Chains A and B, each alone.
Chain A
Amino acid sequence: MNTEFDIGVVGGGLVGVAAAQGMVGVGRRVVLFDEGDVAFRASRGNFGLVWVQGKGVDFPSYADWTRSSAELWPAFARELEAETGVRLGYSRPGGLELCMHDADYAAREAKLARLSKATEGRFEYEMLDGRALRERLPDVSTKVAGASYCPHDGHVNPLFLLRALHQSFVQRGGRYLPDHGVSAVRARHSGFEVRAGGRDWRCGRVLLAAGLGNIQLAPMLGLTLPLRPNRGQVLVTERVRPFLHLPTVQLRQTVEGSLLIGDSHEDVGFDEATVGQVMSGIARHAVTAFPMLKDLRLARAWGALRIMTSDGYPVYQESKDCPGAFVTGCHSGVTLAAVHAQRLGSWVNGNTLPEISAFSTERFNV
Chain B
Amino acid sequence: MFKSLPEQAQKVSVTIEDRTVQVPAHWSVAAAVLVQDMDSTRDSPVTGAPRAPYCLMGVCFECLTEIDGEPNQQACLRQVREGMVIKRQCGARRVLS
Measured CB to CB, the residues of A under 8 A from B are 139, 238-241, 243, 256-257, 292-293, 295-297
Contacts and interface: CB of A to CB of B under 8 A. Distances in A.
A292 B95 contact: yes
A296 B97 CA distance: 10
A256 B45 CA distance: 8
A256 B91 CA distance: 11
Contacts of B94: 240-241, 243
Contacts of B93: 238-241
B80 to A, nearest CB: 21
Contact of B45 (A139, A243, A257, A296): A257
A293 B96 CA distance: 8
A256 B44 CA distance: 11
Listed residue (B91, B92, B95, B97) with the most chain A CB atoms within 10 angstroms of its CB: B95
A79 to B, nearest CB: 25
A241 B96 contact: no
Nearest to A291: B96
A297 B91 contact: no
Q: Nearest 9 pairs between A and B by C-beta?
A: A239-B92, A257-B92, A241-B92, A240-B95, A239-B45, A292-B96, A243-B95, A241-B94, A292-B95
27 contacts: A139-B95, A238-B72, A239-B45, A239-B92, A240-B92, A240-B93, A240-B94, A240-B95, A241-B45, A241-B91, A241-B92, A241-B93, A241-B94, A241-B95, A243-B94, A243-B95, A256-B45, A256-B46, A257-B45, A257-B92, A292-B95, A292-B96, A293-B95, A295-B96, A295-B97, A296-B95, A297-B72
Interface in B25-58: 45-46
Nearest to A258: B92
Contacts of B92: 239-241, 257
Interface in B77-97: 91-97
Contacts of B97: 295
Contacts of A257: 45, 92
A348 to B, nearest CB: 39
Nearest to B94: A241
Contacts of A240: 92-95
A296 B95 CA distance: 7
A89 to B, nearest CB: 12
A292 B94 CA distance: 10
A292 B93 CA distance: 13
Nearest to A239: B92
Contacts of A243: 94-95
A256 B92 CA distance: 9
Given A241-B93, A296-B95, 4 more contacts: A241-B45, A241-B95, A243-B94, A243-B95
A296 B70 CA distance: 11
Contacts of A239: 45, 92-93
Contacts of A295: 96-97
Contacts of B91: 241
Contacts of B72: 238, 297
Contacts of A256: 45-46
A243 B96 CA distance: 10
Contacts of B95: 139, 240-241, 243, 292-293, 296
A240 B94 CA distance: 5
A292 B96 CA distance: 6
A243 B94 CA distance: 9
A139 B94 CA distance: 13
